[in-house]
Amino acid sequence: MPDAAPRPEPFTARTPPAQIEDLRARLRATRWPDEPADAGWSLGADLGYLRDLAAYWADGFDWPAQEAALARIPRFRVRLGGLGVHFAHVRAAAPAGSALPLVLSHGWPDSFWRYSKVVPLLTDPGAHGADPADAFDVVVPDMPGYGYSDAPGGPPLDSIAVAGLWAELMDVLGYRRFGAAGGDIGSHVSRYLGLDHPGRVVAVHRTDAGVPFFDGDPAGLAPEERDWLATAAAWGAAEGAYGAMHRTKPQTAAVGLTDSPAGLAAWIVEKLRAWSDCGGDVERSYTRDEILTNVTLYWLTGTIASSMRMYRANAAIPPAQLARRVEVPSGFSLFPGDIVRPPRAWLERTANTVYVAEPARGGHFAPFEEPEIYAAELRAFFRPFRAAA
């Protein structure tokens, strides 16, 4: 007999109190490094800020309350490709069958957490001052090795393989046609959904164009494209050390990050600050509870090593794959605080670009930083493609 079709099972995380106590004990016992006077954030994570954050994490942060808040989002696990995949699945408040199915793909260093604020705005727009006709059925998976999804036991999966899993997941959920959206690594996953499943994906929305790849004659590029490639290379030289570690020796860093919650917070919070539209003050974009919810998810699931290993897998993707043009209708919302924003000429070179917007606020984690703006961007972009689903 053929194997039974995968069946999603409801999922609720419940952290044993002993794990919380272990976390608090480790935080209180942190062995802090020295730092030069007035270093601030110039050499990486600011030690004074981290000391204060760790003290709150140990003695003020209420993880059970945050865990309960996340549990209000309907969540499931299903077996795909030999792995247990965790995902949020929230159907639209609109009449059944009238909503556009949408799979949202996160990046690093986060998980389904990235979209936790925006889900109600997308599934019930009428309750938030928007048109009920713009409702989505929303699916937010944790990529393998992130959050509550299993980590691959062998080689890590690359973005192409994850896109294949998401296509299978949407099939399991009964969605033959759907939209795809994402940022960071999730931008790559959404891109490959459009490339490899064009008959199923009605349109692709992204908040970035990924790390640029071009192996042709630079003379054939527009001046703004050449400038962008130079800017991206300069950013990589100044800010890309974390990525080089992830691509080459992730297990070395993972030992310390898996053992020390303070070290884990330093690795993640420095990126939240650097990549957000916060003017240098990370708590202008996130509350302490929001920051620590993201970091605690990494701590309790023990997924910092497996999440970093995905960089190694993506670095091995053949150049021919990176050079493919997305022909599915594509849209980009380029937020001002994001890392390196591509010019329109590059977007049109690499995708069938039908929509480009530059919102007034937001950064790399726009769905969490500015959920109302991000939701409005998705509603506007996908509106013309609803009839195709």
The string of pLDDT tens digits covering residues 328-375 is: 999 999 999 999 899 999 999 999 999 999 999 999 999 999 999 999
Give residue-wise pLDDT tens across range 244-300: 999 999 999 999 999 999 999 999 999 999 999 999 999 999 999 999 999 999 999
Q: What is the mean pLDDT of the chain?
A: 96
Residue 5 domain-assigned? no
Q: In terms of Cα–Cα distance, which of 90, 178, 170, 180 is closest to 127?
A: 90
Percent of the chain scored above 90 by pLDDT? 93
* pLDDT for residue 5 is more than 90: no
Per-residue pLDDT averaged across 79-86, rounded? 97
1 within domain boundaries: no
| Whether pLDDT at 97 is above 90 | no
**CA angle (283 as vertex; 278, 289 as ends), nearest 5:** 140
Residue 114: the pLDDT is 98
Q: What is the mean pLDDT of residues 176-182?
A: 98
Inform me whether the pLDDT recorded for 98 exceeds 90: no
Residue 9: inside a domain, yes or no? Answer: no
Cα dist from 341 to 20, 209, 357, whole Å: 40, 8, 12
27 belongs to a structural domain: no
Marked catalytic residue, from 298, 311, 338, 374:
311
Query: For residue 317, what are its two tokens?
Result: 């993707």
DSSP string covering 33-98: PP--TT-TTTTSS-HHHHHHHHHHHHHT--HHHHHHHHHTS-EEEEEETTEEEEEEEE--SSSTT-
Task: Look at residue 11 and tell me if it is in a domain.
Answer: no
Out of 106, 197, 246, 364, which one is annotated catalytic? 364
pLDDT tier for residue 1 given thresholds of 50, 70 and 90: very low
Residues in the chain: 389
So what's the pLDDT on residue 95?
A: 72
Choice among 184, 208, 277, 338 that is catalytic: 184
Output the pLDDT for position 113: 98
> Looking at the predicted structure, is the pLDDT value of residue 3 above 90?
no
User: Is residue 99 predicted with pLDDT exceeding 70?
Assistant: yes
Residue 55 predicted with pLDDT over 60: yes
By C-alpha distance, which of 69, 144, 148, 136 is closest to 103?
A: 136
* 104 is a domain residue: yes
- Confirm whether pTM is higher than 0.85: yes
Name the DSSP class of 158.
-
Q: What pLDDT was estimated at residue 216?
A: 86
Q: How many domains does the chain have?
A: 1
Mean pLDDT of the 151-169 span: 97
What pLDDT score was predicted for residue 183? 97
The residue-averaged pLDDT of 225-254 equals 95
Look at residue 36 and tell me if it is in a domain: no
Domain with residue 153: its CATH number is 3.40.50.1820
User: Is residue 2's pLDDT more than 60?
Assistant: no
Q: For residues 67 and 70, what is the distance between their CA atoms, to the nearest angstrom?
A: 5
**What is the domain extent for residue 160?**
45-388
311 flagged as catalytic: yes
Does a structural domain hold residue 250? yes
Rounded mean pLDDT, 219-230: 93
What pLDDT was estimated at residue 96? 65
- Interacting residues of 184 by C-beta distance below 8 A, sequence separation 6+: 106, 107, 108, 207, 208, 364
